[in-house]
Structure 1
Amino acid sequence: MAIVDTPKSIDNSDAAITLKITDAGGGIGDIRLYLNGSAVMLDSARGVKVVSSNQNEIQKTYHLKLSSGVNSIRAIAFNADNTMQSTDAVQEITAAFKAIGKPSLYALVIGINDYKNPKLQLTYAVADATLFASTLKKGAAPLFEKVEVKTLSSKEETTRGNILKELKAMHTLNPDDLFVFYVASHGTVDDGEYFLITSNVGSTRTERLKTDAIGQSAFKELVGNIPATKKLIIIDTCNAGALGESIQVAMLTRGMSEDAAMKILSRAVGSTILSASTSVQEALEGYQGHGLFTYVLSEGLKGKADKGNTGYVKTTELADYVDNEVPILAEKIFKKAQYPTISISGQAFPIGKVKQNTK
């Protein structure tokens, strides 16, 4: 893997990045481009044709939007079955243009209570999504040029097809923008892949999940192709347990844990991921009219995560607060520990402005 025929400096925001990829015998699979630590291009290039005089080489050109100033570009390629990756190819490009105004924040916030399969019904997912959306809006407003929070909560809005469509719509963002994804729903790991259960899911059999739910690879590709270099992903899922025998079995016996799935996803898209997998008891009983994880998350966003009393809440501080507080409250209220999964990748950035404590 090498970055070739790519300038070191440009006078606008659009750069053409050309990659030379050599097939060492295992074929060519996914190609990823990272801008300043965050994935901005994930190309599932399986079966890509060799268009070079050297039969083992291909060249591909990608068009990226850059930030004003110095941009670090990192490219990696995988073999055909995505089990091995190349060494990184790295290049810095200086973009000499004047940035206009402050960045904007775009959020897609999803809460799913109602499913095609009535056994999957949840109590607090919509209330949690609504709480998170309003808390985020309030905290983010002073920091950004524009704050656009789109909330999806009805059965029609939260189907697999509609959620994928809304994620695709985020592919027009700029590198300096922030993207926040939040979902409260069911999640499971089946056949080695994490699945987000959408409202259209009826059967939870493996083959049906692959067509009806959102698999990790589809989610990874859609989020990885959002050009924003600052991304925060929050996944608050109930693992269903006794509500669905097949989901319970999946959690116990099939493939990797949700923990491992989230860490892999975080590295792939270069973003911070906060996730919680709650038990059925916690999902049904809730805390203060909400799921425990989202309640703690929102308290952190309102200012409790601002440990240094700077007047700002950074993604890393929010992660620390959630990591510390959720197990303490879970032990106190439900008499059992709940440990969120925190995977920090890419850049830390302020997500909200809060009142400083003047004590």
Structure 2
Amino acid sequence: MAFRGLFVGIDRYQSPEIRDLSCAARDAAALEAMFADTLGGQTVLLTDEEASLARIEAELERLFNCEAGDTVIMAFSGHGSETHELIVHDTGYNDIPATSLPLDRLQEWFSRIPARRVILFLDCCFSGGLGAKVLQVPAVPRSLASTEVRLQNGDGRLIFTASGVSEEAWEFSSHGHGLLTYYLLEALRGPADILEAGRLSVYRMLEYVTARVKAAAQQIGKSQNPAMRGQIDGGFCSPL
């Protein structure tokens, strides 16, 4: 069994109409370093101009060649769109459907990865106002209920999102990370209250992250409730 990882973070966008972020590239770099140091294996880090649509698609397709016993972890930090896409470095504001990564396509690729366990962290959002990690698009948004459908997964697959589908996700500029990533990194360092026989349960980790993100958002007068979709049969423990 081997570990494979793909980590994408985008602060700088090619289109001047897309607002830059301040912590997304650092989110991806920190998560890649943490998982690579902990689990070894093969990891790919794509930030800013490296995170083009073609490059991200190519790296996703490489994951189709992993083994059935492998564990795959992916993370994306950047803008989502109101029309259910992940916004990449070279997304064109006036042609979002053709130049971004729709959740439909991501879901299809996600299901085609043969690894027994696949976990995806999305530190972005698909709804919200100024300052949130969402791109407000010129087209009329589709129902957010359909975002929920696109993020559902079955056994052996987990998707952990920074917020509910109708909520905003926020950067924690004073700490240099998005709220989700900041507390995910804290959890991965293994606080004693979530360790089980020296190992870190994914489910305990996500409970820890959820509670702290909700509390931190409330402190700045916001509502942000991370959500988990899918399940890993029998649980999964990440060694520290």
**How many residues get paired?**
233
Structure-2 residue corresponding to 1:195: 85
Structure 2 vs 1, CA of residues 195 and 150 (structure 1 numbering), >3 Å: closer, same or farther?
same
User: Letter of the aligned partner of 1:293 in structure 2?
Assistant: L
- Structure 1 runs (4+) greater than 4 angstroms displaced: 277-280
Unaligned ranges ≥5, structure 2: none
* 1:242 is the counterpart of 2:130: yes
**Of 141, 144, 160, the match for 1:274:** 160
Structure 2 vs 1, CA of residues 264 and 218 (structure 1 numbering), >3 Å: closer, same or farther?
closer
CA distance in 1, matches of 2:56, 2:231: 24
**Of 118, 124, 128, the match for 1:231:** 118
Q: Between Structure 1 and Structure 2, which shows a larger proportion of helix residues?
A: 2
Structure-1 residue corresponding to 2:103: 216
TM-superposed deviation, 1:202:
2.5
* 1:170 is the counterpart of 2:57: no
Structure-2 residue corresponding to 1:122: 21
Q: Deviations over 1:318-357 (max 9, x none)?
A: 221112111012212x12221112213233212232xxxx
Q: Between Structure 1 and Structure 2, which shows a larger proportion of strand residues?
A: 1
**Of 204, 209, 230, the match for 1:322:** 209
Unaligned ranges ≥5, structure 1: 1-102, 142-146, 354-359
| TM-score, normalised by the number of residues in structure 2 | 0.86
Q: Deviations over 1:149-199 (max 9, x none)?
A: 1101141x2111110010001111111100011010101231xxx200011
Structure 2 vs 1, CA of residues 317 and 260 (structure 1 numbering), >3 Å: closer, same or farther?
farther
CA distance in 2, matches of 1:306, 1:237: 28
User: Letter of the aligned partner of 2:231 in structure 1?
Assistant: S
CA distance in 1, matches of 2:19, 2:52: 14
Question: Does the CA contact (< 8 Å) of 2:86 and 2:101 recur in 1?
Answer: yes
SS in 1 for 2:79: strand
RMSD: 2.7
SS in 1 for 2:136: helix
TM-superposed deviation, 1:242:
3.0
- Percent identity between matched residues is 24
Question: Does the CA contact (< 8 Å) of 1:115 and 1:202 recur in 2?
Answer: no
Q: Deviations over 1:293-319 (max 9, x none)?
A: 101001111103862542111221222
SS in 2 for 1:316: helix
